[in-house]
């Protein structure tokens, strides 16, 4: 699994002019799922996201997690994170899982993240044409690949 984590002052997801997710301070997490992903990837990433210390403490040092600040999270599926741009100018998405594999993994990821966070996680709608609006705070953007645990 690949995720792009963005620390936000606010974020929302709109589908057909209807807001389906809306948060203030917290994280916007874009997630891409591939066929090689397993439940261990979900558990590891959910714990990492809930506990990653990218929010400022009283000295403005990044020492606090989204849990520490009682922040919120929006998770948005994004198969394009698995784009291969090796050949030509048109990206290939062969590594990205098809919906029949990706949807159950996505649902499990959101549930596990809710357990780690201790509250509801908002989401976009898998496969929908979404408009994602965010105010990146910092900016702070972290990319994590569960297959490359450094």
Catalytic residue set: 78-80
* Ordered DSSP codes for the chain: -EEEEEEEEEEEEEETTEEEEEESSEEEEEEE-BTT--HHHHHHHHHHHHH---EE-TTS-EEE-TTTTT-EEEEEE-GGGG-B-SSSSS-B-TTBPPHHHHHHHHHHHHHHHHHHHTS--EE--TTS--EEEEEEEEEEEEEEETTS--
């Amino acid at each position: 699994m690949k995720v792009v984590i963005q620390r936000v002052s606010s974020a929302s997801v709109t589908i057909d002019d209807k807001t389906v997710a809306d948060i203030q301070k917290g994280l916007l997490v874009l997630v891409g799922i591939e066929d090689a992903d397993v439940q261990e990837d979900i558990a590891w990433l959910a714990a990492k996201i809930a506990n990653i210390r990218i929010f400022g403490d009283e000295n403005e040092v990044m020492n606090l997690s989204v849990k520490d600040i009682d922040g919120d999270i929006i998770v948005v599926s994004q198969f394009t994170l698995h784009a291969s741009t090796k050949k030509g100018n048109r990206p290939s998405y062969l590594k990205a899982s098809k919906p029949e594999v990706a949807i159950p993994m996505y649902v499990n990821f959101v549930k596990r993240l809710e357990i780690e966070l201790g509250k509801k996680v908002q989401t976009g709608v898998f496969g929908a044409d979404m408009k994602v609006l965010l105010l990146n705070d910092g900016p702070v953007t972290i990319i994590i690949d569960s297959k490359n645990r450094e």
